């Protein structure tokens, strides 16, 4: 088993409403009236109120190359990773006392919106008193699935080494991928959905000395599973161009939830002797309104089972891998009673599905 003891966050400084983003996009793209009627409603129907960005609105008005974008990514990913880690290890909400950097045995760093070699966790280790023998696992390319996948890999490791502790850091700076010259519908969908976010999650093994520092009930991972659909690499991801990352977003994603994901989640629940209607809530990555509605249809549940997913989507947008960690944070801070069961789920490029089984202890 793997105990999720604490979550920390770092929210970028530029808080921009969906109305402001829509107006900005309308001013940047020379759209015909027909295109406005066809493309701009996506901003109104996304169920997003606002998002946070690491750059201000003026930045979007100017051209930027891959090098400039990535330079900002490295600087901001480093800065916000440190803030989220400090928030996680020093959390007064989840911990009875701060956790020492010296207690961390592995750092898993998850991101798909920028590139860095040495990777960001190496830079973070230089800024804090982590041990030199900390194991580093940078994960790139998992997209929205990365939040669940990173926790699943931490679970795999502490299951083998139950006295160890893992820090899973997720950084997604989606604003830096905005392309003002890409008029494809997928770019408008991405611009209407994606925001920036950073999280750090502390995962401890079943024999860790840190278990005594948990404040109240915490979720425990007791199973994880991955599934990748063959011949589906064109469903979502990036086209990497001279100007930066250009989004790939296929309209078939909600259909794949009702088909590919349905088989995966039903099999996962069945193997654990669970029924969806027995779980009071789902820690689901809110890829967008249509994805959440597809989850509901597959599981035959109403909006209440995904209330925090809708809440995070409204207040932060889709922050790729980070988003599901924000959703988990919202459920954790209500300290569900002992024995509460749930499922953590996310979809990503590949096309892939990641699932984790949770029980509160």
Give catalytic residue positions: 144
Could you tell me which residues are beta bridge partners of residue 318? 194
* Lookup: tokens for 5: 């003891």
**Closest to 168 in 3D by CA, of 334, 330, 333, 8:** 8
Could you tell me which residues are beta bridge partners of residue 249? 236
Distance, CA of 61 to CA of 196 (rounded, Å): 18
* Lookup: tokens for 248: 């790939």
Q: Is the bond preceding residue 321 a cis peptide, omega within 30 degrees?
A: no
* Lookup: tokens for 77: 């990913």
Q: Is the bond preceding residue 138 a cis peptide, omega within 30 degrees?
A: no
Which value, in Å, is the radius of gyration of the alpha carbons in the chain? 20
Q: Which residues contact 326 (CB under 8 A, 6 or more apart)?
A: 9, 197, 199, 312, 316, 319
Strand spans (E) along the chain = 2-10, 14-17, 50-53, 106-111, 135-140, 165-173, 196-205, 219-228, 236-241, 244-249, 282-284, 341-348, 352-360
- Stretch (H or E) spanning 35: helix 33-39
Distance, CA of 45 to CA of 52 (rounded, Å): 19
Distance, CA of 170 to CA of 173 (rounded, Å): 10
Q: Is the bond preceding residue 118 a cis peptide, omega within 30 degrees?
A: yes
**Closest to 268 in 3D by CA, of 360, 354, 152:** 354
Q: Which residues contact 75 (CB under 8 A, 6 or more apart)?
A: none
CB atoms within 10 A of CB 17: 12
């Amino acid at each position: 088993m793997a105990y999720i003891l604490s979550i920390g966050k770092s929210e970028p400084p530029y808080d921009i409403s969906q109305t402001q983003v829509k107006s900005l996009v309308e001013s940047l793209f020379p759209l015909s009236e027909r295109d406005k009627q066809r493309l701009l409603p996506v901003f109104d129907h996304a169920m997003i109120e606002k998002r946070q960005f690491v750059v201000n609105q003026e930045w979007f008005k100017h051209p930027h190359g891959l090098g400039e974008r990535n330079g900002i990514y490295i600087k901001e990913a480093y800065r916000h990773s440190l803030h989220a880690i400090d928030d996680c290890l020093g959390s007064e909400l989840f911990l009875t006392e701060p956790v020492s950097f010296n207690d961390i045995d592995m750092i898993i760093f998850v991101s798909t919106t920028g590139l860095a070699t040495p990777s960001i966790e190496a830079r973070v280790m230089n800024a804090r008193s982590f041990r030199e023998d900390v194991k580093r696992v940078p994960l790139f390319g998992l997209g929205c699935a990365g939040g669940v996948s990173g926790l699943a890999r931490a679970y795999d490791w502490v299951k083998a080494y139950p006295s160890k502790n893992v820090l899973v850091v997720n950084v997604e700076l989606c604003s830096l991928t905005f392309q003002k010259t890409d008029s494809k519908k997928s770019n408008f969908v991405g611009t209407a959905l994606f925001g920036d976010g950073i999280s750090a999650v502390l995962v401890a093994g079943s024999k860790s000395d840190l278990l005594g520092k948990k404040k109240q009930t915490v979720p425990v991972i007791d199973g994880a599973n991955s599934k990748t659909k063959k011949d589906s690499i064109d469903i979502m991801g990036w086209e990497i161009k001279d100007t930066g990352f250009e989004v790939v977003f296929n309209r078939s994603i909600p259909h794949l939830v009702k088909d590919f994901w349905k088989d995966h989640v039903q099999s996962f629940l069945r193997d654990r002797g669970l029924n969806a209607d027995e779980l009071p809530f789902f820690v689901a990555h809110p890829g967008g309104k249509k994805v959440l509605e597809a989850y509901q249809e597959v599981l035959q549940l109403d909006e209440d089972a995904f209330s925090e997913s809708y809440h995070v989507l409204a207040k932060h947008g889709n922050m790729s891998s980070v988003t599901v960690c924000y959703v988990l944070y919202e459920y954790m801070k209500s300290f569900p009673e002992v024995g509460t069961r749930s499922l953590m789920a996310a979809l990503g490029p590949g096309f892939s599905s990641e699932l984790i089984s949770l029980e509160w202890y």
